[in-house]
Amino acid sequence: MAFADKNLTCRDCGVQFVFSAGEQEFYKSRGLENEPGRCPDCRSARRQGRLGASNKGPREKSKVTCASCGTEAEVPFQPRSGRPVYCDACFAKMRSQRQPQ
């Protein structure tokens, strides 16, 4: 099957970009059926935004009392009522006990 360059319009910025024959061949070899909806710049920016989502800053920590040893600990989540919460040491100990040997 012969591929020919196509002009597509980016759905984010509205700029026209070329979907080259080489890119079409690459998409076909990977089993991708849909043409790209974004230009290379918008695809790159979107990828960076997705990768940077984990850099939202430090996570909020909640102070809790360990359900096992009673010491005060900080956890990186908001505890649910009725569920036990453990300090790092007790959690690691419980986890190692549950691991099949």
DSSP secondary structure string, the chain?
-----EEEE-TTT--EEEE-HHHHHHHHHTT--SPPSS-HHHHHHHHHHHHGGG-S-SPP-EEEE-TTT--EEEESS-PPTTS----HHHHHHHHHHHS--
pTM above 0.75? no
In a domain, 47, yes or no: yes
Specify whether 82 is located in the same domain as 46: no
In a domain, 1, yes or no: no
Specify whether 50 is located in the same domain as 11: yes
In a domain, 38, yes or no: yes
Specify whether 50 is located in the same domain as 66: no
Full domain range(s) for residue 94: 62-98
pLDDT digits (tens, 9 = 90+) for 18-77: 999 999 999 999 999 999 999 999 999 898 876 555 556 667 888 999 999 999 999 888
* pLDDT range class, residue 5, cuts 50, 70, 90: very high
Specify whether 69 is located in the same domain as 39: no
